[in-house]
Amino acid sequence: MPLHQPPSRRLLCGLASLLVWFSATALADSRPVLGWVEKGLILPEGVAVKFKLDTGALTSSMHAENIDRFEKDGEKWVRFDLDLEDINTDKRVDSRVERKIERELTVRGAAGKEDRPVVKMKVCLGKQVYEEEFSLNDRDDMLYPVLLGRRTLEKLGPVDASRTFTAEPDCSVSKTDG
């Protein structure tokens, strides 16, 4: 933009450029803004639990009990219990699940080093089904049975840390994997 234009024209051009930038930014991410805690469904069981959307974690984590590793067709698998309270019905849902181990995750903390299996699980959040990797860990002492880490969050959209429960899970509308 030439500097010899009158100030009012430069201001008008600057405002127009700013408007175009804001419009492009808004259109670039039309996904809903989620809160830091959301209700989600673990599929295929359909059990409704609280998901914590945690930008401080890289890998997502899911509550699992009685984790048994075994081999199937030459591959590493895991068998575990989903023993959770459905927050919609207050009933316990206990299901034995088998999944192929995608990878191992080493977690280091105050209690030392721990290796956890990572498996793919389907979850419903809002109107979308996502098949994501979850490390398995007994989260009985935690407030949230499911923690969604940054690898999953980048597919979901923006998170507003001041909000909770913004999207009721309803995956009957869209069965597409995210």
CATH number assigned to the domain with residue range 31-164, chosen from the 4 options 1.20.1540.10, 3.40.47.10, 2.40.70.10, 3.40.50.2300: 2.40.70.10
Question: What pTM, to 2 d.p., does this model score?
Answer: 0.78
Reported as a single tens digit per residue, the pLDDT across 42-101 is 999 899 999 999 999 999 999 999 999 999 999 999 999 999 999 999 999 999 999 999
Q: Where are the domains of the chain?
A: 1-30, 31-164
Residue 23 region by backbone torsions, left for phi larger than 0, else alpha for psi between -120 and 50, else beta:
alpha
Q: If you average pLDDT over residues 10-26, what whole number do you get?
A: 51
Reported as a single tens digit per residue, the pLDDT across 146-160 is 999 999 999 998 999
pLDDT reported for residue 9: 63
